[in-house]
Amino acid sequence: MSDQTAETLANLLKEDRRFEPPAELAEAANVTADAYAAAAEDREGFWAAAAERLSWDTTWDQVLDWSNAPFAKWYVGGRLNAAYNCVDRHVEAGRGDKVAIHWVGEPEGDTRDITYAQLKDEVSQAANALTALGVRAGDRVAIYLPMIPEAVVTMLACARIGAPHTVVFGGFSADALASRLDDCQAKVVVTADGGYRRGTASALKPAVDEARTKTDVVEKVLVVRRTGQDLGENGWDDAVDVWWHDAVDSASTEHTPEAFDAEHPLYVMYTSGTTGKPKGILHTTGGYLVGSSYTHWAVFDLKPETDVYWCTADIGWVTGHSYIVYGPLANGVTQVLYEGTPDSPEPGRWWKIIADYGVTIFYTAPTAIRSFMKQGHEVPDRFDMSSLRILGSVGEPINPEAYVWYRHVIGGDRTPVVDTWWQTETGAIMISPLPGVTAGKPGSAMTAIPGIEADVVDDEGNSVPNGSGGYLVVTSPWPSMLRTIWGDDQRYVDTYWSRFKAQGYYFAGDGAKKDDDGDIWVLGRVDDVMNVSGHRLSTTEIESALVSHPKVAESAVVGATDPDTGQAVVAYVILRDGAVGDGDLDDRAIVRELSDHVRKEIGPIAKPRQIMIVPELPKTRSGKIMRRLLRDVAEGRVVGDTTTLADSSIMDLISAGQATST
Ligand code: WTA
């Protein structure tokens, strides 16, 4: 643990504010305190009961088959269709006229309300259209779309025909898209001409065109007309490109969903790991849908009849998968889906949406909360947000100040805040307060929810005593767990199950601490993964991007603490001989060039906050880069112990040369 983490932690643990559940909420809560003990006593029985939330074509014979650990099978023998569960069954139960999605486009007034009956028609049409394009069960379909209803429709259409989707966040570049298309061999890409960001139309289709020059796996590209922008001179290929309005709008609204095995692949979601190559996290159908729908109902105390739910995540991340698409729709709730940025065209945009639609449950990330804190409470104070009853946080540790501000300014001190810890790999929320049960502590994710068993352990895998820190682990399998890394079973075993092999624990890659009451405080990654604004980025991936530039000889990337984004990317670069002339100006031009290069290789989200050109990197005698020292420089601290460096004068050079940066 770095000195700074230890200091933050010491401050955190001094936090002694407690927020009891509101009495009314506790009385009517979906889940009560006894659920923990009941689930601990019969975990499989607990998950069998949770699976009753879904409609199964064939019931399972066995809840869990762990005989081939760590390869799990949940609900063995069960068959179901995920899209049927998210859409059709609500229509069949007479709730077809209920609004599924209040869609809010970024341009003001550009809205659409979609009922469950309409959603069923659109998903059926898209399923028919994808089938007509040659997609069959088991084929992969990539989705590269803005936050428009077609994104939800396409995901469900894929689920309906058993074609695993892989959604690629619109902020990823053509290169990043190409490597994902290639890795999962996506046959079809669904995209749009563009989307709106801060009032301007920003293009998407050209990135797909460019990606197709790097991989030849794609057979068809289905294009939604969203902005109407010009596609450019060579922006349309008749042999490959198909307009959504031609293929989908004319397709039949009749489509019979087929039941798939509970372990049929539902989707692949790429996430950064500790190597340069992103991992394709595979989720399957039955367990994932049980996990996402149960947790959405339990953790947000969901009352599907009356709640209006809003999760601000992008569909390109796992939060959008579990808590915009699968969890909420399986639960038949009404939700808001918003296309744009939080403060466009005005700083109160989000709060206006909450007031306009009477949002009752709101789920967002600490980075967003911190940026609103900076604007002051005057902006949210202008809006009536008295409809809110529960607030959620996800993606990164929430600092107590942000938690208290969120509860006070946004939630009017009525609303419990659920700080939910989970990962792309876990598929669903694992550690979180329950709003009707837990007395929340600002900054703590508290305890594993019923049915989940987690712990904090030392290097040897022993549970640490209260008051100590260590590694966060999950000690028994859970329904929505990842099943493998797409195409790489060995990497799955190595990454998650080899660290604590003897105990059979899942290694999450996060550090955590148990406080004196045994409650869990998640501290952040212990591996080479950074968390920037709640987005996972790999240091190695950015280093590879930098060294792929002809002027770069070597690079080291660290995640430096940042008051706004949690962590920020800071890169140290050694240039090749002759890459630059003398003087500042040349250095600055190179820094700009390298920054653009990272943007091109990975995407705008990976752009370093700072690039420093250095003569050497601090290495141990065995050649290992000492990132701890680089983090000290990046965070403006006195550089720590340098005695293990092969050449201890290097840190003086690096600290002195800080001027050359973006
Ligand atoms: C971090 C997002 C502290 C953590 C759902 C984890 C958190 C990574 C929290 C997963 C939280 C997520 N408190 N840290 N409540 N939630 N994290 O895969 O480091 O994008 O390993 O999934 O985010 O990020 P991912």
Q: How would residue 659 be classed by pLDDT, with cut points 50, 70 and 90?
A: very low
Query: In the predicted model, what is the mean pLDDT of the chain?
Result: 94
**pLDDT higher than threshold 60 for residue 1:** no
Residues 6+ apart with CB under 8 A from 485: 279, 280, 281, 282, 491, 492, 495
Q: Are 620 and 626 in contact (CB under 8 A)?
A: yes
* pLDDT tens-place string over residues 395-430: 999 999 999 999 999 999 999 999 999 999 999 999
Q: How many CB atoms lie within 10 A of CB 338?
A: 20
Q: How would residue 300 be classed by pLDDT, with cut points 50, 70 and 90?
A: very high
Pairing mode, strands 566-575 and 552-562: antiparallel
Q: Is 198 annotated as a binding residue?
A: yes
**pLDDT higher than threshold 60 for residue 150:** yes
Whether ligand 1 lies within 6 angstroms of the CB of 420 is answered as yes
What percent of the chain has pLDDT above 90? 83
Q: Is 488 annotated as a binding residue?
A: no
Q: Are 263 and 483 in contact (CB under 8 A)?
A: yes
- What is residue 582's predicted lDDT score, i.e. its pLDDT? 55
Q: How far is the CA of 170 from the centre of ligand 1 (A)?
A: 20
Whether ligand 1 lies within 6 angstroms of the CB of 513 is answered as no
Q: Which residue's C-alpha comes closest to atom 25 of ligand 1?
A: 423
Whether ligand 1 lies within 6 angstroms of the CB of 423 is answered as yes
The Cα–Cα gap between 167 and 475 comes to: 30
Q: Are 557 and 543 in contact (CB under 8 A)?
A: yes
Q: Which residue's C-alpha comes closest to atom 14 of ligand 1?
A: 396
Whether ligand 1 lies within 6 angstroms of the CB of 299 is answered as no
Q: How far is the CA of 422 from the centre of ligand 1 (A)?
A: 5
Q: Which atom of ligand 1 is nearest to the CA of 431?
A: 15
Q: Residue 421's beta-bridge partner residues?
A: 431
**pLDDT higher than threshold 70 for residue 19:** yes
- What is residue 161's predicted lDDT score, i.e. its pLDDT? 98
Q: Is 200 annotated as a binding residue?
A: yes
- What is residue 15's predicted lDDT score, i.e. its pLDDT? 72
Give the pLDDT mean for 351-367.
97
Q: How far is the CA of 319 from the centre of ligand 1 (A)?
A: 10
* Top mutation candidate among 292, 394, 538, 567 for ligand 1, by most atoms within 8 Å of CB: 394
**pLDDT higher than threshold 60 for residue 598:** yes
Q: Residue 474's beta-bridge partner residues?
A: 454, 506
Q: Which atom of ligand 1 is nearest to the CA of 419?
A: 15
**pLDDT higher than threshold 60 for residue 3:** no
Q: Which atom of ligand 1 is nearest to the CA of 319?
A: 5
Q: Is 395 annotated as a binding residue?
A: yes
Q: How far is the CA of 521 from the centre of ligand 1 (A)?
A: 12
Residue predicted with more confidence, 253 or 563: 253
- What is residue 474's predicted lDDT score, i.e. its pLDDT? 98
Comparing CA positions, the residue from 397, 618, 626, 624 lying closest to residue 525 is 397
Whether ligand 1 lies within 6 angstroms of the CB of 422 is answered as yes
Q: Is 424 annotated as a binding residue?
A: yes
**pLDDT higher than threshold 80 for residue 583:** no
Residue predicted with more confidence, 658 or 265: 265
DSSP string of 318-350, one letter each residue: HHHIIIIIIHHHHTT-EEEEE-S-TTSSSTTHH
Least confident of 69-78, 197-206, 215-224, 470-479: 197-206
**pLDDT higher than threshold 90 for residue 235:** yes
User: pTM, whole model, 2 decimals?
Assistant: 0.93
Q: Is 397 annotated as a binding residue?
A: yes
- What is residue 662's predicted lDDT score, i.e. its pLDDT? 47
**pLDDT higher than threshold 90 for residue 276:** no
**pLDDT higher than threshold 80 for residue 258:** yes
* pLDDT tens-place string over residues 471-489: 999 999 999 999 999 999 9
Whether ligand 1 lies within 6 angstroms of the CB of 421 is answered as yes
Q: Is 422 annotated as a binding residue?
A: yes
The Cα–Cα gap between 427 and 294 comes to: 12
Whether ligand 1 lies within 6 angstroms of the CB of 524 is answered as yes
Q: Is 536 annotated as a binding residue?
A: yes
